[in-house]
Amino acid sequence: MLIQGWRWFGPKDPVSLDDIRQAGAREIVSALHDVSIGEAWTRSAVAERKALIETAPAGRTPLAWTVVESIPIPDDVKRLGARATRSIDAWVESLKAVAANDIKIICYNFMPVVDWARTDLDWPLPTGATALRFDNDRFAAFELHILERPGAENDFDAGTRARARALHEAMGPDDIAYLIKVIASALPGSTTEPLTIPAFRERLALYRGIGAAQLRQHLIEFLGIVTPVAESLGVRLTLHPDDPPRPLFGLPRVASTAADYQALFDAVPSPANGMCFCTGSLGVRPDNDLPAMAAHFGPRVGFAHLRATKRDTDGLSFHEADHLDGDVDMVAVLAALLKENRQRPVTDKIVMRPDHGHRMLDDLGKTVTPGYTGIGRLKGLAELRGVMTALEHRL
């Protein structure tokens, strides 16, 4: 069985540690979200959060902080690579603080300016629940008519441009403010900074001339510095895929396909250079064969985000489907990951967590963290646990 984890955003998370216990998860995925991006984490701060998670009240099921998600990589590292010495040094200090507290898996991403992107946080489903959604026409309306990015018109066909214009013309001030908030103001768990529209334009301008090859080289330079440290401390670094897995805002993304990951593993072959296998992110691309990727990259997978996305007919828009629905063959993916897991020592099992649950039932009337509702993820974890149990029973 994969280790069953749960993302927790700290003491202010609407989902409590007792809620997590009741969901059946025993391992916590968390971070010091109150520390500014680029500032080094201290051993004492990590220890304090670890004690909060792991000091169970009398009679309660114990929990363990197993995965850090994430230590944010500052923007200058993505633009400058190894030349961003101050930011990389701070990241290494955070890595050491985590390792000193016996946490051995660190998730991170390398998406420039904005990391995971959506256009709707409560998209209505036929069931009455709501889901996260990326609507390509709404995204085009933001790019073309709100952000007004130079050259954006070249990234959308004539039909999309026409629909985007019509959408924007129908938007009121509140609609525009909502779209700015969702796209530019950093979603929960984001490892990029909230941006106003002027600041967004300024940040994009800093990337002028940086293509995919250079961004990949900067990631390789970063890994060349931090991976030996991680390996010496027994820590596995797990790179989260781009979300969505394609260029956005005229910027390249370099963790979207099997070829992207293979290039990074070839460049930095250390076993500490690992992968966060996010089925939802990778599943947005129809050319990503997820069961094959899970089998091929199995030894590199230290952490897994399990969720399913459902693509629209345009191949670009998508929403978060039920965990066993959508375009992801979750049963085949789990079979591949379980096969890899059985070959590992007990100290190196794959940690998974249910990702991006629907807002449903009582959560429809509550303040929730978009994508990280209690009930939606509980449902997803129960479904995933059932599949894993059935697969293990067949062996």
Q: Is 278 a catalytic residue?
A: yes
218 a catalytic residue: no
Q: What is the CA radius of gyration of the chain?
A: 20
Amino acid occupying residue 373 = T
How many Å apart are CA 150 and CA 53, to the nearest integer? 47
372 is catalytic: yes
Amino acid at 161: R
Catalogue all structural domains in the chain, each as residue range(s) with its CATH number.
3-116+210-393 (3.20.20.150), 120-202 (no CATH)
Catalytic hit among 305, 319, 323, 358: 305
The angle at the Cα of 261, spanning 259 to 262, to the nearest 5 degrees, equals 60
Q: How far is CA 25 from CA 5, 189, 222, 292, in A?
A: 5, 19, 33, 27
Please list the pLDDT of the chain residue by residue as tens digits (395 residues).
Answer: 999 999 999 999 999 999 999 999 999 999 999 999 999 999 999 999 999 999 999 999 999 999 999 999 999 999 999 999 999 999 999 999 999 999 999 999 999 999 889 999 999 999 999 999 999 999 999 999 999 999 999 999 999 999 999 999 999 999 999 999 999 876 666 677 788 999 999 999 999 999 999 999 999 999 999 999 999 999 999 999 999 999 999 999 999 999 999 999 999 999 999 999 999 999 999 999 999 999 999 999 999 999 999 999 999 999 999 999 999 999 999 999 999 999 999 999 999 999 999 999 999 989 999 999 999 999 999 999 999 999 998 76
Catalytic annotation, pick one of 115, 137, 355, 363: 355
The one catalytic residue in 75, 115, 120, 240 is 240
**Runs of H (alpha helix) within the chain:** 17-23, 43-54, 75-80, 85-100, 136-141, 158-170, 173-184, 197-206, 212-233, 258-267, 279-283, 290-296, 330-342, 374-393
Q: How far is CA 338 from CA 42, 73, 106, 167, 295, in A?
A: 35, 30, 21, 45, 10
Candidates 168, 218, 323, 356; catalytic one: 356
**Residue 240 known to be catalytic:** yes
Would you call 355 a catalytic residue per the annotation?
Answer: yes
Q: Is residue 276 flagged as an active site residue?
A: no
pTM metric for this prediction: 0.96
